[in-house]
Amino acid sequence: MATVEERVKAVTAQVLKITPEQIKLEDSFTADLGAQSIQSVELVAMFEEEFGIEMEEDVALSVTSVGEAIKFITEVCKQQGVVIEE
């Protein structure tokens, strides 16, 4: 099973139409990777689908960087009993 980081980068690359190799943990989704408002929402939606979780909208949309997203998704998966590869 791929790690959370690999899966987050894969989803991000797909939504933002870039390659996973271009994505660094410290990258901001908007400032560095160029995510527009709708893409931020699409990222959250696709993370939910990828991991089979439900995220609280305002909290999820306040996550700014890739590294923070990995940490946040990991916590939500644990809270919701979803098995992941860290």
Partner 1 sequence: MDNARKKHPLVDTEKPNLLKDTFTYNLPPFIKFEGPVVENIGGKPVEFDFTAVKDRDIHITDTTFRDGQQARPPYTIDQMVHIYDLMSRLGGPNGVIRQTEFFLYTKNDRETLDRCRALGHKYPECTGWIRAIKGDFRLVKEAGLKETGMLTSCSDYHIFHKLKFRSRAECMDRYCEVVEAAFEAGVRPRCHLEDITRADLDGFVFPFVDRLMEMSSQVPPELSAKIRLCDTMGFGVSYPGVELPRSIPKLIYKLKYECGVPSDCLEWHGHNDFHKVHTNAGTAWLYGCDAVNTTLFGFGERTGNPPLESSIFEYIALKGDLCGIDTMVITELADYMRSIGIPIPDNYPFAGKCFNTTRAGIHADGLRRDTQIYNIFDTEKLLGRPPRIAITDKSGTDGVVHWVNDFFGLKGGDRVSKIKIHKLARWVIDQYEEHGRLTAISDQELEAKTKELLPEYWEEYKADQK
Residues that bind partner 1 (CB under 8 A): 37-38, 41-42, 44-45, 48, 55, 57, 60-61
Whether 27 contacts 33, CB under 8 Å: yes
Q: Which is nearer to partner 1, 37 or 79 (CB)?
A: 37
As given in the structure block, the two tokens for residue 51 are 């991991």
- Residue 48 or 50 having the CB closest to partner 1: 48
User: CB of residue 55 vs partner 1: minimum separation in angstroms?
Assistant: 7
Of the pair 33, 44, the CB lying nearest partner 1 is at 44
Using alpha carbons only, give the angle 35, 44, 13 rounded to the nearest 5 degrees.
50
Is the Cα dihedral 2, 50, 53, 23 positive or negative?
positive
